[in-house]
Structure 1
Amino acid sequence: MLKAAIIFMLLATLVSLFSGLFFLVKDQGHSSRLVNALTVRVTLAALTLALIAWGFYSGQLVSHAPW
């Protein structure tokens, strides 16, 4: 369940990234929609990092790295 939530948050971050690009091109930077899209993207990225940290802390995510 946690992995699905993380993937969903990453996809939502990508959607927000491309919507910000669309608003930048369409509005040519004269609208606050670009700032709102970037705010949403930063918030989603922070929530994604928090989910990953919580997953490692709770033991639901484990690293199999050899180092």
Structure 2
Amino acid sequence: MKKACFSVLALIVSTLAWAQEEATKTVDVNINTKSESAWYTSPVVWVIGAAVFILLLVALTRGRRA
């Protein structure tokens, strides 16, 4: 009985996986060639912001221990 249930389940899963295949595959790539970008898209800004946040968090939690 277990083999029959497993076989039916495997058939259903493989059918669902096969149904996900698309006959025609299209790739649409849009490259933004502008040199200007927003300030918040720079990884350096995020690293500096995270460092400031961590330093603030440490400074605030150390002040309460005394």
TM-score normalised over the length of structure 1: 0.34
Rg larger in 1 or in 2? 2
Structure with greater helix percent: 1
* More relative contact order, 1 or 2 (CA 8 Å, 6+ apart): 1
